[in-house]
Amino acid sequence: MIRPSYHSSSAFLARSIDLGEADRRLTFFTRDSGVLVTIGKSAWRSRKRFGGTLQRYVLLDIAWTERPGGMAVLASASVNRSFWEIVEDWERVRHADHLLEIASELFPQAGPKPRAFEVLLRGMRSIADGESPPETARKVEAELLAIGGWGPDLSGCRKCKGQESRSYRFLPSEGGILCETCPPSGGSPLSLGAVKTWRAMQAGKAAARGRLRIPVGIAEELRIVIRGYVEYCIGKRLRSLGET
Ligand SMILES: [Zn+2]
């Protein structure tokens, strides 16, 4: 008989689904194994093993076992840090759910994801600390896209390299921006201010990024365009932060 291998990681719970009587299918975003689907055996009955730890918006330390060809089975979970301030406010909850969704969707492969996990953790902490949930979401989106290699390239028009156009158009298929005159036409309008803000979010030093304040009009431009680009990159619609 092949012995199961034993693993552990920091993790956030992204989704949990009931499986019959007492078991749950628990999906985590982990630092050391990326998206991890586990079976929680009697997870919600066995208070001794998991207590009240299997909640969202909590930084967990989890351990699990794996057999070749089998599903991972959750062995233990403990709270490393609780961001309970998130559940006090619906806007915070919606945006925390969004961070979990985009991290899981942009990095669905197995394997270590230390940088993406760090960005997710920092986003959770910011929302819990009372930072603006939408601003935090835009910063996390921009960073995760850049870490995942999707850019986009915002250095100037993709065709003529023009850098001082008053306004640009963002085309997901170009992975960047075009000036007003270069073909093809179409795309979403994006002001120079929005382009500069996005650049700062994806490339700025961590401290500068933390201080960055986004004017309302630019925030609205970026909300729509970045969401569209994330959906283009993952090839499907996002569930979180849908129109209400
Ligand atoms: Zn151009």
Same fold, 5-82 and 85-234: no
More confident residue, 199 or 55: 199
CATH for 5-82 (2.40.50.140, 3.40.47.10, 3.60.15.10, 1.10.238.10):
2.40.50.140
CA of 177 to the centre of ligand 1 (A): 9
CA of 187 to the centre of ligand 1 (A): 13
**pLDDT score recorded for residue 46:** 57
Q: What percent of the chain has pLDDT over 70?
A: 91
CA of 156 to the centre of ligand 1 (A): 8
Q: End-to-end distance of the chain based on CA atoms, in angstroms?
A: 52
CA of 53 to the centre of ligand 1 (A): 53
Q: What percent of the chain has pLDDT over 90?
A: 73
Alpha-carbon separation of residue 206 from 33, 83, 128 (angstroms)? 25, 21, 18
Give the residue extent of every domain in the chain.
Answer: 5-82, 85-234
**pLDDT score recorded for residue 113:** 97
Is residue 139 predicted with pLDDT exceeding 60? Answer: yes
Unique residue bearing structure tokens 């158009």 = 169
Averaged pLDDT, 89-96: 96
Taking only the tens place, the pLDDT of each residue in 224-242 is 999 999 999 999 999 998 7
Distance CA 99, CA 111 (A): 19
Q: Tokens representing 86?
A: 């998130």
Taking only the tens place, the pLDDT of each residue in 163-200 is 878 889 999 999 999 999 999 999 999 999 999 999 99
Confidence of residue 1 (pLDDT cuts 50, 70, 90): low
Alpha-carbon separation of residue 38 from 5, 26, 29, 124, 136 (angstroms)? 14, 5, 11, 23, 29
CA of 157 to the centre of ligand 1 (A): 5
Q: Is 0.85 topped by the overall pTM? A: yes
CA of 51 to the centre of ligand 1 (A): 58
CA of 161 to the centre of ligand 1 (A): 6
**pLDDT score recorded for residue 44:** 54
**For the structural domain made of 85-234, what CATH number should be given?**
1.20.1440.120
Unique residue bearing structure tokens 């932060």 = 241
Distance CA 236, CA 218 (A): 25
More confident residue, 22 or 225: 225
**pLDDT score recorded for residue 243:** 63
